[in-house]
Amino acid sequence: MAKPVTLIAGPTASGKSALALDLAEHDGAWIVNADSMQVYADLDVLTARPSPADLARAPHRLYGHVDAAEPWSVARWLKDVGKVLDEARDVGRPLVIVGGTGLYFRALAGGLSAVPPIPEDVRARLRAEASDAPAGALHRRLAEADPLVAARLEPGDTQRILRALEVVEATGRSLAYWQQQQGTVLVGPEAARVVLAPPRPWLHERIARRFRMMVEAGAVDEARRLLARKLDPDLPAMKAIGVRDLGPLPASLGGLEQAIEKATAETRRYAKRQETFFRGQLGDWPRLDPADTSAWRRLLRGHS
């Protein structure tokens, strides 16, 4: 009997979407996005969102539904995915939740800390002050207000520094305190779960090949359109891999090649960070080598 919910995590380019599609077709499931960049409407090619052919094979949810000007968060994703879970239960459809954002899975299966809502006037004021602050000033300010959290953050991590400042100013308590208060668990231990753990050389080859395919599919124009919107460079969507490398018009073929190599190397580093998170935070999840076709077939049979 098919599991009502299946969770598939894994590093970028590891074959998560292909496995999700196989399971969705096998079970009649909906596929739900758990990737923090694939939510953005402006990032179709650069995030390898499902193609029209993929969408025709199975229903997909929470892909490309957020404008790049929105600073999306794990809390907002949980709210969205909770609605999809309710809808799927009402109509009796299984779900395959797939993506590379480990924090989404940890919050989904382990609960998100219950940080109170931040008043919009506090958020707006702090962001206005940050726009004029010299480099490092925000981090020093956080170190005075919340030294525990400041010690965890790099001085250039503006988004997270602002978030920590918002919390301590609005609630009078450290973000670390709120992170210890467990919220509602949306998916229990009955859910099937797997982390794709490919061999490093295999993954690196796929990363390089896929990024070149993205360029051929229009990634340069996509990055250029996003930069033309002149959004806050600290917004999550603006930090998507390839936006800053491909957005400026390459002066020559050599310039384009250099941008491709730089973005490919950044993608490899990102995949390594994902794998580190999965080992540390999802360490009890079963591992699957996506290059092992026999293991893939066993997983499919387990959903029969």
Q: Are 246 and 240 in contact (CB under 8 A)?
A: no
| Residue that is written with structure tokens 């962001």 in the block | 127
CA angle 218, 221, 227 (to 5 degrees): 140
Same domain, 230 and 107: yes
CATH classification of the domain holding 162: 1.10.20.140
Q: What is the CB-side half-sphere exposure of residue 98 using CA atoms within 13 A? A: 24
**What band does 126 get if pLDDT is binned at 50, 70 and 90?**
confident
45/167 same-domain check:
no
Q: Mark whether 73 and 46 lie in a shared domain.
A: yes
Q: Tell which phi-psi region holds residue 149, choosing left (phi > 0), alpha (psi between -120 and 50) or beta.
A: alpha
- Please provide residue 96's backbone torsions phi and psi, each rounded to the nearest 5 degrees: -120, 110
User: Tokens 């496995």 sit at which residue?
Assistant: 19
Q: Tokens 């973005």 — which residue?
A: 263
Q: Is the dihedral of CA 138, 140, 145, 150 positive or negative?
A: positive
Residue-wise burial string across 74-86, b where 16 or more C-beta atoms lie within 10 A, e elsewhere: beebbebbeebbe
Residues 83 and 194 occupy one common structural domain: yes
Domain C-terminal end among 132, 164, 179:
179
Confidence of residue 108 (pLDDT cuts 50, 70, 90): very high
Same domain, 223 and 203: yes
Task: Determine the Cα–Cα distance for residues 113 and 140; give it in Å rounded to an integer.
Answer: 25
pLDDT tier for residue 116 given thresholds of 50, 70 and 90: confident
90 & 158 share domain? no
State residue 123's pLDDT score: 84
When pLDDT is cut at 50, 70 and 90, the band that residue 113 belongs to is: low
* % of the chain residues with pLDDT over 90: 62
Helix, strand, or coil (residue 23): helix
- Tell me the C-alpha distance between 277 and 53, whole Å: 31
Which percentage of the chain shows pLDDT scores above 70?
92
Counting the structural domains of the chain, the total is 2
Model pLDDT, residue 1: 43
Last residue of a domain, one of 158, 179, 200: 179
pLDDT score at 114: 64
The residue among 159, 179, 199 that closes a domain is 179
Are residues 254 and 227 both part of a single domain? yes
Average pLDDT rounded to a whole number, residues 42-52: 97
Query: Which range is least confidently modeled, 119-123, 167-171, 268-272?
Result: 119-123
Which of 98-107, 113-122, 141-150, 282-291 has the least mean pLDDT?
Answer: 113-122
* C-alpha span between 276 and 63 (Å, rounded): 25
20 and 129 belong to one structural domain: no
More confident residue, 119 or 224: 224
DSSP string, 94-127: -EEEEES-HHHHHHHHH----PPPPPHHHHHHHH
Give the pLDDT band (50/70/90) at residue 8: very high
Output the average pLDDT for the chain: 89
**Does 152 share its domain with 230?**
no
At 282 the pLDDT is 93
242 and 294, same domain (yes or no): yes
Average pLDDT rounded to a whole number, residues 102-117? 82
Say yes or no: 143 and 53 in one domain.
no
Q: Per-residue pLDDT averaged across 148-156, rounded?
A: 88
Instruction: Identify which has the larger pLDDT, 34 or 141.
Output: 34
Mean pLDDT over 40-67 rounds to 97
pLDDT of the residue at 71 = 87
Q: Measure the CA–CA gap between 177 and 52, rounded to whole angstroms.
A: 44
Q: Are residues 148 and 292 in the same domain?
A: no
> Which pLDDT belongs to residue 226?
97
CA distance 208 to 216: 13
Q: Which domain holds residue 150?
A: 120-179
Q: Give the domain CATH number at 249.
A: 3.40.50.300
> How confident is the model at residue 203, as a pLDDT?
97
Query: Which of 289, 235, 209 has the alpha carbon at shortest distance from 48?
Result: 209
Return d(Cα 171, Cα 293) in angstroms, integer. 51
